[in-house]
Structure 1
Amino acid sequence: MGENSPGIGRRTLFRGAAVAGAVTVGGGLASAAPAHASGFYNPFRAYAISSGWQDHLNRGSLGGIDYPMSVGTGLPACGSGTIQNIPYNGTGGHTVTIYHPNGYRTQYMHLSSFRFANGTSVAAGTVVGYSGGAAGSDGSGSSTGPHVHWHMINPSGVRIDPLVYLAGLGSGLPKTTTEYDGVPGPVMWMRAQNWLRIEQGYAGPIDGYPGVNTYAALQREMREYGYTGPIDGVPGKYTWMAVQRLASRWGYTGPIDGVMGPNSWRGFAKFLNQDRWD
């Protein structure tokens, strides 16, 4: 038998109804993010590119990057900003636009559905919609297969290659606000997945959705902190006790009881916020 997991499931976090108004959705479900949480990063780095920027230009497009992925995959914001949804946006189909504070815009195209109402403010790493693109499906536009199309628009209104823009920033993953609010969320789990990719060979997506593969890699890493249970990808008391031992080296002073609370998450997140896991 596997252990019972106190983690937050995909549906609990991301399948809620659209939220109206100027709500900031951050590293937890809804929390005020410090300034550093608004940094840009590539949320699709774990996916292969099927059609790059020059491929689009060669076809007469204004440019974009295509990442194949299953319909319904969550699309995290590459930076903080305000949402505007554009249903049936010509060949782009359902399109979500993120207006960033620095005047840049991000667009994801061929969505199967939107997540938030217009005007919602989101932090980097927050899922803002769900991928689509299946040929002929509602909102797929001219797409011939499941994928997301990503491009950015600069303050002058010119479409730009987001990978070139990010390379210019030298940016990696944003820091998680969990270090401050004790609420685990997608950015924290993206950082955990990247840490586990580096340390344990985790090969799944860096998407902030912890699943069996993420948890199995965590259990392997927790051998160093006293975990002796099965590597079954179903974390429970003994996995989380080991995580608390790690967190105790980063400011956590509570009991090693396997019950993850805000203080446990803060210590774990402080460890994950090291620059080497960006």
Structure 2
Amino acid sequence: MCGSGDGIDRRTLLRGVAAGAVAVGGSLLVGAGPAHASGFHNPFTGYPISDGWQAHLDRGSLGGIDYVMAVGTRLPACGGGTIQNIPYNGTGGHTVTIHHPNGYRTQYMHLSAFSLGNGATVGAGGIVGLSGGAAGAPGSGSSTGPHVHWHMINPSGVRINPLSYLAGLGGTLPKTYTEVDGIPGPIMWQRAQNWLRMEHGYAGPVDGVPGVNTYAALQRAMRGYGYTGPIDGVPGPNTWAAVQRLASRWGYTGPVDGVMGPNSWRGFARFVNQDRYDRLG
């Protein structure tokens, strides 16, 4: 069913991506491989901001950034760390805290659900919860509309603007370990989305969860690699054959048969791991 050397079914791989599951050796990179670091980045770049940092301060808040999104949107970790869930955290409602190895903490507020248990380890891009914020809904706290509130806390316990923190780091994505193990995951797809955002008109979130908009941008990009089908966001063998042609310029030596497997993904990952696709914003 798969091309030579690619003995894993593509649907199985993509189901794992869509579920946000941590694949053994996969791109969530929990404590694994040279590509793993805290990998701080902004996972919400594709969503509008309803209230910025200064607007929070002006109304007496300690600070935060509010990103508008539908209830139930998957929330990727902005960096790796250890999970602490705080249900019904006062005005913040359901709050997930990520304790990062460098002593900083990230908090997302107004969640509708938690995705991981207390003490769980998550890599950058791993899904930590679902957004909420609908007025009066369980876990919404004082929120009056669907969104996620994001802030960070420094090692001294002071709340800080995560965008200022990221600007100091250069706002970069971690490299994907897919280049090594051939298993696509959220970080690989974040890097792909960032490439597509930079060069092919993708305007959705850089969240590592590919959907119709991601795939439509991928199909546009693949025009340069022989794809002649519709730009409909529904990838099929012709889309994936074009991706394999791209991958063949990055070390893939298998057949161009439109069936993705580990060797195809490795070549594609080498492409998206280029330094020029590190930068967000």
TM-score, structure 2 length as denominator?
Answer: 0.89
Name the counterpart of 2:109. Answer: 109
Give the match for residue 180 of structure 1.
180
* CA distance in 2 between partners of 1:29 and 1:275 (Å): 18
Give the 3-state SS of the residue equivalent to 1:38 in structure 2. coil
Name structure 1 gaps, 5 residues minimum. Answer: none
Q: How does 1:25-64 map to 2 (within 5 A)?
A: 27-28=27-28, 32-64=32-64
Q: State percent identity of aligned pairs.
A: 76
Structure 1 CA distance for aligned equivalents of residues 28 and 150 of structure 2: 25
**Gapped runs of 5+ residues in structure 2?**
1-9
Match of 1:8 among 4, 14, 38: 14
Q: How far, CA to CA, are the matches of 2:241 and 2:31 in structure 1?
A: 26
Counterpart residue number, 2:193: 193
Superposition deviation, residue 216 in structure 1: 1.4
What are the residue-to-residue correspondences of 1:1-278 with 2, within 5 Å?
A: 6=11, 8-9=14-15, 12-14=18-20, 27-28=27-28, 32-278=32-278
Alpha-carbon distance in structure 1 between the residues aligned to 2:119 and 2:148 = 22
Q: Does the CA contact (< 8 Å) of 2:27 and 2:185 recur in 1?
A: yes
Provide the residue aligned with 2:3 in structure 1.
Answer: none
Q: Is the 8 A contact 2:98 2:106 kept in 1?
A: yes
The verdict on how the C-alpha distance between 1:168 and 1:30 changes in structure 2, with shifts beyond 3 A counting, is closer
Q: 1:157 to 1:29 in 2, by over 3 A?
A: closer
User: Partners of 1:85 and 1:33 in 2: how far apart?
Assistant: 27
Q: CA deviation at 1:52?
A: 1.1
Q: Which amino acid aligns with 1:72?
A: G
CA distance in structure 2 between the partners assigned to 1:103 and 1:134 by the alignment: 32
The alpha-carbon deviation at position 31 of structure 1 amounts to 8.0
Cα drift, residue 124 of structure 1: 0.5
Amino acid at match of 1:194: N
How far apart, in 2, do the equivalents of 1:223 and 1:47 lie?
27
Following superposition, the deviation at residue 10 of structure 1 comes to 8.2
Whether the 8 Å contact between 2:28 and 2:124 is mirrored in structure 1 is: no
Could you say if the C-alpha distance between residues 37 and 227 of structure 1 is closer, same or farther in structure 2, counting changes exceeding 3 Å?
farther
How far the C-alpha of 1:114 sits from its partner, in A, is: 0.2
Q: How many residues align?
A: 268
